[in-house]
Chains A and B, each alone.
Chain A
Amino acid sequence: MKNKINSEREIETSEEAKKLVIARIDAQVPSNLRLSIGSFGGMSKEEMIEHVEKGDEMGRQIIKSHLRFLHAQSTGKITRALISAE
């Protein structure tokens, strides 16, 4: 279990993950939107990128969220869910 947590943490803070997520945020988040995650309210795209670059707790949350989505996309989970709601 400890090994699983450590390897998840390594993925979240890896430079590749950071670069990927920063590129996604840069491309996908317009300047007029603000993201609230839990107690962190109203992050602009620039603030999101800063957190990811720093690799702090919020940065890791953002990365985790992106990776979860990508994983769900790649396994078809999202497509199946969206079809079920039609």
Chain B
Amino acid sequence: MKKGMIITMPRYDDVTEYFSQFSKEVIKEAEKELLPVKALVDKEATKSSFEKVANSLQYSLVVMNGHGNSKEIFGQDKEAIISEGVNEQLLVGRITYARACEAAASLGKLIISINNEGCFIGYELPFQFYADITWAGNPMKDNTAKLFLEPSNAVPISLIKGKTAAEANENSKRAILKNMNKILRNADKDSLAVAEALWNNYEGQVVIGNGEALL
């Protein structure tokens, strides 16, 4: 594997729109560190495109945005990009961060069982976030969604900055707790609801495989 990042950014509903907008921050950090990036955006985020890119570019980091379940990660229009028993070998030996619900529950474990030099950072519970409809047209200005998506971004950003997978996971989880502290101190009407969803992501986020893996 060589240093570089493949990132999928489907955009076809509110959730994928938010994930993709916030992913631009990850790409910015990669560019600052002169890390080669191949982004599959919108209609490029398909199984065939991903397979072609993953086979030709041996980049060590894969960031997958989108919906999913315990055995699949979806791309554009809910097409499965990675499926257990179909093409999970494309992620073997790499560091994968899946911002897709529950993929760690089964798919991540399978990938690591094949080769545990890489690792899989993802969620054993469905990823949750609140968004403020006031900012639906400009997700980057949504301070509520930021409470969830900035700690989530901390995983790939920490890896890009040279941290190990375990450190990246720890940084992200600490950021979740800091945001919980912040909103609970504010004691706004939505504080407990937001804290509860943040706690879900904190408990659900796991590293499977080699925690010492580096880009």
Contact = CB atoms under 8 A, between A and B. Distances in A.
Mutual binders A and B: yes
Interface of A: 24-25, 28-30, 32-39, 41-42, 61, 65-66, 68-69, 72, 78, 81-82, 84-86
Contacts of A35: 128-130, 193, 197
B101 A30 contact: no
Interface string B75-113: 000100000000000000000000001100000000000
Contacts of A30: 189-190
Contacts of A68: 199-200, 203
Contact of A41 (B14, B132, B189): B14
Classify the interface of chain B: helix, strand, loop or mixed: helix
Contact of A28 (B69, B125, B133, B189): B189
Contact of B177 (A41, A72, A82): A82
A69 B200 contact: yes
Given A72-B203, A78-B199, 8 more contacts: A29-B193, A30-B190, A32-B132, A36-B129, A38-B67, A41-B13, A61-B126, A86-B181
A62 to B, nearest CB: 10
B126 A38 contact: yes
B202 interface: yes
B181 A82 contact: yes
A85 B101 contact: no
Given A34-B133, A72-B203, A85-B177, A42 B193 contact: no
A37 B102 CA distance: 11
A72 B183 CA distance: 18
B13 A28 contact: no
A28 B192 contact: yes
Given A33-B131, A36-B128, A38-B67, A85 B174 contact: yes
A72 B125 CA distance: 15
A72 B134 CA distance: 32
Contacts of A85: 174, 177-178, 180-181
A31 to B, nearest CB: 9
A42 B131 contact: yes
